[in-house]
Amino acid sequence: MNSTQILLWDVLPYVTIAVFVVGMLWRFRYDKFGWTTRSSQLYERSLLRIASPLFHLGMLAVVAGHVVGLLIPESWTNAVGVSEHFYHLNAVALGAVAGAATLVGVAMLVYRRRTTGPVFAATTKNDKTMYVFLLAAICLGLVATMTGAGVLGDGYNYRETVSVWFRSIFILQPQGELMADTPLAFRVHALAGMALFMVWPFTRLVHAFSAPLGYLFRPYVVYRTRSASTAGNRTPRPGWDRTNA
């Protein structure tokens, strides 16, 4: 492995994790007010009604696919009797549906952003940048999937290399050499993915990490007592908490 490869596959992943984690914590501490979906439904709803669920549900399926494909070792699925061929067929079939939904969804979202006057007017530079990174990751991901499935080229079992590399990062024994020889599509997609996670904390994408699952478990009506820490409808910024002096 040359030094570029070490940088890309052994070092960059940790940089990504650091930027992502520190960025999210920092954003949460200092910009709770900016932490929102910034819904644009008020401006336009007929396109959004189809585009947003299509994109999000597709995206959630894609995330699930990544979890299964990257985190679960091939030996485990083999051990429970799922053959490589069977796994592959399923992954390709489900992946194709999810990928198509995501792609169509995101295309509609971008089209909507560009063509609906009020939505376009409310689109910030930050949103545009975010979409560049998001689109890059999605499109390159599709190319990688097609490469893996043999639609482009002769197929490739990424679970033997990419997935092992991915897990190696989290057990702190990075095996960058596994990535060095994978097809270009996988390498570029991995880079786009890392880039996306590095900009993530600084865009509206943070909303994904506040998915309100707690709603299922809390009582319907929330009561709060005025307390020293929450005056009015605002929590003091860190370091500016009240004292009793």
Cβ-based nearer residue to ligand HEM, 139 or 205: 205
Residue 69 beta carbon to ligand HEM: minimum distance, rounded to whole angstroms: 17
Would you say the C-alpha torsion 52, 102, 121, 199 has a positive or negative sign?
positive
45 binds other proteins per the rule CB under 8 A: yes
114 binds other proteins per the rule CB under 8 A: no
Pattern 68-107, other proteins, x by CB under 8 A: ----------------------------------------
Cβ-based nearer residue to ligand HEM, 186 or 197: 197
Q: Count CB neighbours of 221 within 10 A.
A: 5
Three-state SS for 234? strand
Cβ-based nearer residue to other proteins, 14 or 114: 114
Amino acid at 20: F
Amino acid at 185: A
Question: With CB cut-offs between 5 and 8 Å by kind, which of ligand HEM, other proteins, none does residue 109 bind?
Answer: ligand HEM
Distances 20 to 28, 193, 200, 205, 209 between C-alpha atoms, Å: 12, 12, 7, 12, 12
C-alpha span between 142 and 95 (Å, rounded): 9
Q: Among residues 1, 6, 66, 126, which is the contact residue for other proteins, using CB under 8 A?
A: 126
Single out the residue of 128, 131, 132, 143 nearest to residue 189, CA to CA. 143
234 bridge partner residues: 231
Span interacting with other proteins, options 47-55, 76-84, 171-179, 186-194, rule CB under 8 A: 47-55
Q: Residue 16 is encoded by which pair of tokens?
A: 């990504």
Span interacting with other proteins, options 13-21, 69-77, 178-186, 199-207, rule CB under 8 A: 199-207
Cβ-based nearer residue to other proteins, 90 or 124: 124
C-alpha span between 169 and 166 (Å, rounded): 6
Residue 102 beta carbon to ligand HEM: minimum distance, rounded to whole angstroms: 9
Question: With CB cut-offs between 5 and 8 Å by kind, which of other proteins, ligand HEM, none does residue 34 bind?
Answer: other proteins
